[in-house]
Amino acid sequence: MSNVFIAFQKNEETRSIIEAILADNPNATVDDQPGMVRIDAPNTMTIKRETVEEVMGRRFNLQELHINLITLTGHIDETDDEFTLSWKH
């Protein structure tokens, strides 16, 4: 089993996104680096729009992720409600 990861710029918006990821993916770990935050998880990681909205306190379109994204790895599956990275087929 391999890890997937995603990294964001460190700012107000991504603070909420990261909090949401940690709530929905109990196996995820955070690596704080200068200017950026990287989150790793074994095999799969899901970002849920609903959770992000709860933490952020506003409507959130998952495509807003693009603005603060730095890098990622794994196969992507994106819908209006969920953004998933995984090594599954």
Partner 1 sequence: MDMKVAKKLGLKERYNLMTRDLDWEPSYQAKEAIYPFLEYEGIKIHDWSKFEDPFRLTMDAYWKYQAEKERKLYAILDAFNQSNGHLGVTDARYINNLKLFLTGVTPLEYMAHRGFAHVGRQLAGAGPRVACLMQSLDEIRHAQTQIHSMSNYNKYYNGFQNWRHQHDRVWYLSVPKSFFDDAVTSGPFEFMVAIGFAFEYVLTNLLFVPFISGAAYNGDMGAMAFGFSAQSDESRHMTLGLEMIKFLLEQDPANVPIVQRWLDKWFWRGYRVLTLVAMMQDYMLPKRVMSWKEAWEIYAEQNGGALFADLARYGIKPPAGWVQACKDKDHLSHQAWAVFYNYGAAAPFHTWTPSAEEMDWLSSKYPDTFDKYYRPRYEHWAEQAKEGNRFYNGTLPMLCTTCQIPMFFTEPDDPTKICYRESDYKGDKYHFCSDGCKDIFDHEPEKYIQSWLPVHQIYQGNCFGPDADPTSPDFNPLMEVLKWYKLEFGQDNLDYEGSPDKKNFEAWRAQATKN
Pairing relationship of beta strands 29-33 and 44-48 according to DSSP bridges: unpaired
**Residue 23 or 36 having the CB closest to partner 1:** 36
* Closest C-alpha to 33, from 3, 66, 5, 73: 5
**For the chain, how many helices (H) and strands (E)?**
3, 7
Residue 5 or 24: the one with the smaller Cβ distance to partner 1 is 5
Q: Write each residue from 6 to 35 as x if it is in contact with partner 1 (CB under 8 A), else as -, in one continuous string.
A: -x-x-----------------------xxx
- In this structure, are residues 17 and 65 in contact, taking their beta carbons and an 8 Å threshold? yes
* Token pair for 85: 């990275």
Q: Does 50 bind partner 1 (CB under 8 A)?
A: no
Determine, following the binding rule CB under 8 A, whether residue 70 of this chain makes contact with partner 1.
Answer: yes
Binding positions for partner 1, rule: CB under 8 A: 2-5, 7, 9, 33-36, 63-64, 66-73, 75-80, 87, 89
